[in-house]
Amino acid sequence: MLELDQLVKEFTGFRAVNGCSFTVREGTITGLIGPNGAGKTTLFNLIAGALKPTSGSIRFNGQDVTGLASDELFHKGLVRTFQIPHEFHRLSVLENLMMVPPKQQGESLFSNWFAWGAVQRGEKVVARKAWDTLAFLELTHVAHLPAGHLSGGQKKLLELGRTMMTDAKLVLLDEPAAGVNRTLLRQLEEKILILNREHGYTFILIEHDMDMIFKLCHPVICMAEGSVLVEGSFHEVRNDRRVLEAYLGETTGDAA
């Protein structure tokens, strides 16, 4: 479904992503781990079109999508969530979801004036979908709260909900567990699994929470210094000496 070939992203002489290649099979939840600064988020930015690669290529469903902008990728079903949630904090939770669909008819002045009935019907469909999404995520009780009032975990669920408002095929999750309490974490894991098994979502999941990686991900890819260090099952990666060394290297680096 996704093929990365020798991706490089250079920031003024420094290579945050340095010849990164791997493939993601449709229907998997691929785990992406690696020490702080390994280049994981930068790689997501390249895949999701927030940054253009310095070199290398990205293919999505057999199509070359290298350098496409994020909204073009979004229309193709490639969606990401953020390490730090990007909710519209003054809008309600429901409104946050209703804003997501692209090509919402109400947006154009023309359709507002001349196709008022159609706009009304379109909004009803979007509202229905938003309520269904909230029900799935068990967030209906906070539908009318400003999104800024949600807990960290609820914001992560809302981020996931925003991907459900589109016809997402491949969803990139950047540290969904960070700052989430245990109860909501379990809920989040369960929703990710249902979306994967019953709704055909493919995921790439960046996470430092090894418990979550263990429960959800196969295969697991460990990145270090901008490229793939090891790929395999959770146990293969966990028991690989190079992975341990990469994490220890990070600790030594921090101490220095």
Ligand X SMILES: Nc1ncnc2c1ncn2[C@@H]1O[C@H](COP(=O)(O)OP(=O)(O)OP(=O)(O)O)[C@@H](O)[C@H]1O
**Which one, 37 or 106, has the nearer CB to ligand X?**
37
- Binding ligand X (rule: CB under 6 A), the pick from 2, 22, 39, 171 is 39
- If one asks whether residue 36 binds ligand X (CB under 6 A), the answer comes out as yes
Cβ count near 45 (within 10 Å): 21
**Which one, 40 or 162, has the nearer CB to Mg ion?**
40
For residue 69, the minimal CB distance to ligand X (Å) is: 17
- If one asks whether residue 38 binds ligand X (CB under 6 A), the answer comes out as yes
Window 51 to 110, contacts with ligand X (CB under 6 A) = 83
For residue 36, the minimal CB distance to ligand X (Å) is: 3
* Three-state SS at 16: strand
Question: What residue 42 binds from ligand X, Mg ion, none (CB within 5 to 8 A, per partner kind)?
Answer: ligand X
How far are the Cα atoms of 51, 65, 226, 228 from residue 16, in angstroms, in the given order?
Answer: 12, 20, 5, 12
- If one asks whether residue 202 binds ligand X (CB under 6 A), the answer comes out as no
How far are the Cα atoms of 83, 142, 179, 234 from residue 149, in angstroms, in the given order?
Answer: 18, 9, 15, 36
- If one asks whether residue 31 binds ligand X (CB under 6 A), the answer comes out as no
- Helix ranges (H only) for the chain are 40-47, 70-75, 93-98, 109-114, 116-137, 152-164, 182-199, 210-216, 234-238, 241-255
Name the residues that contact ligand X, by CB under 6 A: 11, 16, 34, 36-42, 83
